Amino acid sequence: MTSSKRAAVTLLLLLTLTFGAMRPASAFLDKTRFLAHVGIAYFCFHHWVSNPYRQGAFAPGAPHRVAALVKGGVALLFAVHEIRVAQDIAHKSSDPLLHALDGKVAALGATFAAVGVKMKGGHFESADADSLTDQTTTVSNGAAADGAQIKDVPVPVPGG
């Protein structure tokens, strides 16, 4: 290759890199990443809060009640982290579905946080379970209306 061809190829590569870096990069697989993080939060809620609640693990006098409450509280606080990651993805995305779900997911995260703190402190009421279930249903229905299904994404929890 002649030196003028090398110079032209080098200049072309530099221009491509320069203009490519100037364009805002679209996030890769926004919807998939968003749904995965919300799915992890749902798993934490269903596995560590909803199912134990239905089995009576949080009822006064239940064996290992305090441990179940603390685990549920910690799981909900982890779910809050996952919801915040999902919100960050939604904020940076150009996907209209993610923008539409952003407010619902923010409300879900706030409910997870409030109930998680109460549970971690050893307190839980049936109204908390109803509130959490209503919030998850609202987000799921909103996603399903636009063709996206939120599924539980199992994650291993150390010591669980």
Per-residue model confidence (pLDDT) at position 158: 59
Contacts of 144 (CB under 8 A, 6+ apart): 150
Per-residue model confidence (pLDDT) at position 37: 93
Over residues 71-89, the pLDDT tens digits come to: 888 888 899 999 999 999 9
Average pLDDT of span 129-145: 87
SS3 assignment for the chain: CCHHHHHHHHHHHHHHHHHHHHCCCCCCCHHHHHHHHHHHHHHHHHHHHHHHHHCCCCCCCCCCHHHHHHHHHHHHHHHHHHHHHHHHHHHHCCCHHHHHHHHHHHHHHHHHHHHHHHHHCCCCCHHHHHHHHHHHHHHHHHHHHCCCCCCCCCCCCCCC
Q: Where are the domains of the chain?
A: 30-145
pLDDT band (50, 70, 90) for residue 23: very low
Per-residue model confidence (pLDDT) at position 160: 55
More confident residue, 1 or 89: 89
To the nearest whole percent, how much of the chain has pLDDT over 70? 79
Distance, in Å, from the CA atom of 122 to the CA atom of 110, rounded to the nearest integer, reads: 19
To the nearest whole percent, how much of the chain has pLDDT over 90? 22
Per-residue model confidence (pLDDT) at position 94: 87
